[in-house]
Structure 1
Amino acid sequence: MTSFRSWLEPVREYTKALFRALRLLWTAAPRETVFMAIAILLQGLVPALSIWISKLVVDTVAAALTQNENLEQVSVVILVAGWIGALLLELLLNPWVEAAQGNINDKLTAHISLLLMRKADTFADLSRFEDSEFYDELQLLQKEVSYQPLNLLQNLSGGTQSLITLVAMIVLLIPLGLWIPLVIAIAAIPQVVVSFQYEKQIWLTLFENSPQARRMQYCTSVMLTDTHAKEVRLFKLGSFFISMYLRAFQSLYQSMRHLRVKQALWTSSLAVMSTLGNGFAFYWVVQQAFKRQISPGSVLLFIESLAQLQRNLEEFVKAFLELYETMLYMQQFFNFLDSTLPMKPCVPGKLVPNPIRSGITFEKVHFRYPDNRLALRDISFTLYPNQTVAIVGENGAGKSTLVKLLARLYDPTEGVILVDGIDLRELNLDEWRQQIAAVFQDFGRYAITLGENIALGNLKALEQPELLKHAIAKAGIVELVEKFSTKENTPLGKQFGGTELSGGEWQKLALCRAFVRKAQILILDEPTAALDPRSEYEIYHHFVELAEGKTTLLITHRLASIRMADRILVLKAGRLIEEGTHQELLQRQGEYATLWSMQAKQYSA
């Protein structure tokens, strides 16, 4: 009973995913789906109709020849016309079915991709994207969305058509003997079950080896794109990454090869049993014909039906197994859509104070990443309105983590963040993030126009050109924009043949996004890391204007640029160890003074 249940459960899950996939198909392309269903039904019945007409023609001719009966030309003409009509119907349907499949595939692929993107967009925090297992699953879903919808269509239509033809063939064979289709079916069932089980194991093995497949893709990307081209050639890294690719391939290949060989052995063995069953049925029909128990047309019907039955059974099993693989993908897809959100925003949530009056307070905040790495410990301080606070510390001190908590890209593991005394988790999340303008160290470089790159900071600027021009002027990048003939409409990025900017120019655009965004809080995470000294000076020249009326958080390793800050927080190993102005911290002769002295000596040298 337990083994039966363990076998039945995957079938139940398969069926559940199949019906849900059909609903998805209907949602994406309802009209095309109706046409496909009618066309598949007709295509499935045409072979049986052709065989039945052939039987009637042979029986009519045989009766005329053996029993000296007059051949009724009208009946023969009608039968031949019917046979031609069935053949013509099949030929006419094929191109229209292919066209409908192409249209459905386009709509279904787009629909699934949109569902993936919309679901990913509902993840309010970063925890899922920094979870390696989730990331592997998401990469697999993203990679296979380019062909799994097509597989679903082809295998669903092909399998359904084969099933209809199978049923029609069985109906034709039943008058010859009910046991004939039963013997053929019983001989074929073990082959279906074994193939079903091995296909599941192959998919699960592929999914378990997803990191290896992703490593192969990564090595290919390193060797075939321009991102790492300079270092690959300078340091002769080609053999290193090729070897890494081969190791990952061998690991994945060995697992898959073992299963495929076992599947082939079992399928071949069971195919012999199926052939013996068909051979016995064929022998019996021939004997019955010699005894004049059945007509010559019935022998022809059996031969053609058996050939169709065998061919369509193989096609049905193949489509069923490939559809099963697709259903495993669809199960992963539906599980992703049904997954719960790690961070559940408070809906509708309390209104964000505007303006913030008493400030933003961190009270005994601890934070531990999903991999159990402790990043912040017992952090307590207050960001007062319209104040500029700089955060300094060595790499790994927790500076960027603190920024993520402020933007509520994570929630504290312990402790609380208060905005005018209100728990940040109780505020409306969308409204809170609208109050934040940020330039992160790993800012995005988007393959869209220059103006659109800036307007990403405030999408209203796409419809308000004056807002865009105002931000360009405030950020001091008028000269950068004017050097292009198409100005704000200049396409950027190599992906679509646009202009590629320098690292510093890209960073200026990222800074310009902060100017175009109306916000109470400004976060600058290493805002001048990619800039030359002149550009850095120009940016900080505009810094006072950019930070005016905002609560500003500045993270930088260049300590010479933070003397304009009202307060400085010094982090070390996830703890807040010092706090004060530039002069106060120098007088304490602590960690900040040490870091300042080290950089000052470099300039002196």
Structure 2
Amino acid sequence: MIGKLMETVTIILLAARYSFAFCWRNSKIETVGRLSVSIFNTVIGYLSIQATGFIINGVQSSMGKTEISNDLIVPIAFLITVLLSGVVLGRFNWFYRSKWNQSLRYANQRELNDHRATLDVARFRSKEYDDLSKRIQELPWSWQTRIFFSEEMFNLFTTLVSFALFGASLLWYKPTYAFVLMVVALPMVVSEFKMVALWWDLFQELVPQHKKRSVLEKPYHSSNAFVQAIMFNQMPALRRDIDINVNSILEAYDCIRKINLQKEMVTHFIAMIGLCGVAIHAIWSTVVLNGEIGTLTIIMAASRTFQGNLESIVSLIAEQWNSAKGVILIEKDFLGLKPVLQTKYPVVPNFDIVPQIRFEHVDFAYPDTEKLVLEDVSFTIEPGSKVAIVGKSGHGKSTIQALLMRHYDPTSGTIYADKIDLRNIEPQVWSNVASALTQEYTVLERCIGAEIASSRLDQSINIEAVTASSRFANFDEVADSDPKGYESQIGVEFGGRDFSGGERQRLALARVHYRGTPILILDEPDARLDPESAQKVIDKVFELKDITVVMITHHVSRAERCDKVIVMQKGKVAEQGTHQELTALGGIYFSMCEKDKERLGTVETNPPKSPDSEDPD
């Protein structure tokens, strides 16, 4: 029991230190104001009871006299002053509390977002990050836990000050009463701290259940998932599964809640009996010994407040156990997350021309897994060339894109940019050399021009470059169709309009082109486009000069115009070479070409002949 008590106190103190530091660095004046006002308010409450007791004693001694004793004037004046001071301090308390809360809400979000910005893609997509995020989201106050815990710590601080003041008063008048109240409160303390451990253990145990529910609830929060759920009539089944999930969680908590109810009923009953015993003895002593009624009033008020404060302290500590753990979870674990990628010997490359990219015996397995998704991958991409990476889904094409962008580092092997190991170039620096249109992109609700230029937020908008990038992506016709042009708003939420999937993909392509990097990686750039728009976009891609383009595609017909084709199969480079060289081999690529032509209605009846084959005629 002593060990659990020490653990609880240690955790509360550590969380309180983190919370105070958070408040101090983000709202110093308001924090000092709240602390000062809280102390003065508590002292005023204490002094008002003392003054009331003195007044009652004065009234008792003046009974039967024709005029008010001069001894009453001072305590009455003091009580009035104290009460008026309480009114003034109450307004200041509201002022500081309101400003403190508002400042910290923004500061909390800023700190969390600033930390997320220091992480890399590998960490952001890691299981550790996902697990931590889910655990924090399921806390009583989620990501706002630091703010609400700090609020409770202010309440605890005020209660401790009150406990000290009224405890001292009780010790001054009747030390025995303080001892009795402390003894009868011990069962309550023991019970509360035992329950604390049970609550936290259950919370940890139920994390997988909470994660499962977050998946089931996605259609209620994501527009794409909502459309899919409506289309497949999933809502009734989802509601049933969510109810089953929630009911199992509630039942688990109810079991502990019932145990807690039984124990608290007994322990609080014992504490109240002790208080009643103190009150009865105080009244008996006053009557028998002809004591002062004012002193009795002070003792009664001090006893009740002392015990109430003791209960509040124990309850606050017990109830804030989860929040304290949550604060530590945010401050120590989440804000302690580091990027997965380490750049031990960082260099800032100064490429005079577009760099050559070289994969040398690259193996790769995603973090937290051992299965290789790339194995012994080697190829070279010459400066300014157009390279297609083709293959079936799940065979490593998009993984190569992620490695090219240095979202991950190879498990073994090396990727070179000219002669520089890509591990020695910071991802932020490399993003000025290579940019990518991935399959998972987001278009934010800005004006069209601002969204296209958002790939260079560090620079002012260049409207000529915006227009040029829009033409490159065949998006200019969309912008020109609106009277406001590039000032037109994206999204109905801000008074604009929604774009189709194809329009959004063209806008995303314009955005990545606007960045103007010498290496451009396009993962299925025409996946959502109609045939006419797709052809226009692909034509524009092949018109690019002095830019290396890596195109990841399922459409082999796009590869015909490339300088080099890399064929991926089961995470390995199955074939590589020019279109003509690979079709002449009559292998995997040739088979893919035939199927593509069959799909387009242009299939050839005979495979190409090997250069060494003989004409039968």
Residue 467 (structure 2) aligns with: 469
Distance 2:503 2:492 in 1: 15
- 2:413 maps to a residue whose letter is G
Equivalent pair of 1:356/1:420 in contact (CA under 8 Å): no
Decide whether aligned partners of structure 1 residues 537 and 498 sit closer, same or farther in structure 2, where only a CA change above 3 A counts.
same
Partner residue, 1:17: 15
Correspondent of 1:427 among 425, 435, 449: 425
Amino acid of the structure 2 residue aligned with 1:25: C
Query: Are 1:172 and 2:169 an aligned pair?
Result: yes
User: Aligned pair in 2 of structure 1 residues 471, 295: CA closer, same or farther (>3 Å)?
Assistant: same
Match of residue 89, structure 1, among 73, 81, 85 = 85
1:364 is matched with 361
1:413-562 equivalent positions in 2, closer than 5 A: 413-460=411-458, 462-545=460-543, 547-562=544-559
Aligned length: 598
Structure 2 Cα separation of the partners of residues 99 and 346 of structure 1: 50
Once the two structures are superposed, the pairs formed by residues 289-308 of structure 1 within 5 Å of their partners are 289-292=286-289, 294-308=291-305
1:245 matched to which residue of 2? 242
CA shift in 2, pair 1:92/1:145, >3 Å: farther
1:592 aligns with 2:589: yes
Q: What CA distance in whole angstroms lies between the structure 2 residues aligned with 1:48 and 1:487?
A: 68
CA drift of 1:342 comes to: 2.0
For the 8 Å contact 1:436–1:521, the answer to whether it is kept is: yes
Which residue identity does 1:285 align to in structure 2?
Answer: A
Tell me what 2:614 maps to: none
Partners in 1 of 2:261 and 2:69 — Cα distance?
52
Residue 601 (1) aligns with residue 607 (2): no
- Sort the Cα spacing of 1:544 and 1:471 in 2 relative to 1 into closer, same or farther, 3 A: same
Change (3 A) 1:99 1:141: farther
The 2-side partners of 1:87 and 1:142 are apart by 43
Among 98, 117, 122, which residue is 2:118 paired with?
A: 122
Q: CA deviation at 1:239?
A: 1.7
**2:343 alignment counterpart:** 345
Q: For residue 521 of structure 2, what is the amino acid of its counterpart? A: I
Q: Secondary structure at the match of 1:570?
A: strand
CA positional deviation for 1:200: 4.4
With over 3 angstroms needed to count, the CA separation of the structure-2 counterparts of 1:86 and 1:440, relative to structure 1, is same
Q: Which residue of 2 aligns with 1:265?
A: 262
C-alpha contact 1:48 1:172 (8 A) present in aligned 2: no
Distance 2:5 2:168 in 1: 30
Q: Which amino acid aligns with 1:55?
A: G
Question: CA shift at 1:350, angstroms?
Answer: 1.4
Q: Which moved more, 1:500-509 or 1:177-186?
A: 177-186
In structure 2, the residue matched to 1:43 is 41
Which deviates further from its counterpart, 374-383 or 129-138? 129-138
Contact 2:388–2:552 (Cα < 8 Å) also in 1:
yes
Letter in structure 1 aligned against 2:132: E
Q: How far apart in 1 are the matches of 2:486 and 2:264?
A: 63
**Partner-residue secondary structure (3-state), 1:462:** coil
Choose from 198, 201, 217 the match for 1:201.
198
- For structure 1, the 5+ residue unaligned runs are none
Q: Look up the match of 2:98.
A: 102
Aligned to 2:55: 57
Conserved? CA contact 2:505–2:528, under 8 Å: yes
Q: Which runs of 5+ in 2 are unaligned?
A: 603-617
Amino acid at match of 1:88: L
Question: Is the contact made by 1:452 and 1:462 (CA closer than 8 Å) also made in structure 2?
Answer: no
- Residues 152-183 of structure 1 show CA distances to partners (whole Å, capped at 9, x for unaligned) of 24312222222211211112212322121122
Task: Tell me the alpha carbon deviations over residues 470-489 of structure 1, each in whole angstroms, 9 at most, x when there is no partner.
Answer: 32244332221122233323
Output the CA distance in 2 between the equivalents of 1:581 and 1:592.
Answer: 11
Question: Kindly, what percent of the aligned residue pairs are identical?
Answer: 24
The letter for the 1-side match of 2:180 is V
The structural deviation recorded for 1:92 is 3.4
1:405 aligns with 2:400: no
Q: Output the CA distance in 2 between the equivalents of 1:346 and 1:74.
A: 82
2:126: which partner in 1?
A: 131
1:44 deviation in Å? 1.3
Partner of 2:394: 396
Using the alignment, how far apart are the partners of 2:187 and 2:159 within structure 1? Answer: 18
CA apart distance, 1:300 = 1.2
In 2, the alpha carbon distance for the partners of 1:154 and 1:459 equals 37
- TM-score with structure 1 setting the length: 0.92
Q: CA deviation at 1:12?
A: 2.0
Deviation at 1:531, TM superposition (A): 0.5
Tell me if structure 1 keeps the 8 A contact 2:453–2:462: no
Contact 1:392 1:569 (8 Å CA) reproduced: yes
Q: 1:380 matched to which residue of 2?
A: 378
Q: Summarize the Cα distance change of 1:132–1:255 in structure 2 as closer, same or farther, 3 Å threshold.
A: farther
Task: Decide whether the 8 Å contact of 1:386 with 1:551 is kept in 2.
Answer: yes
- Secondary structure at the counterpart of residue 385 of structure 1: coil
CA distance in 1, matches of 2:187, 2:383: 74
Q: CA deviation at 1:494?
A: 4.5
Q: Alignment RMSD, CA only? A: 2.4
Quick check: 1:312 aligned with 2:309?
A: yes
Alignment check: 8 A CA contact 1:101 1:153 kept: no
Q: Please say if 1:181 is aligned against 2:175.
A: no
Q: How far 1:356 moved relative to its partner?
A: 5.1
Q: Per the alignment, do residues 533 and 103 of structure 1 end up closer, same or farther by CA in structure 2, a change over 3 Å counting? A: same
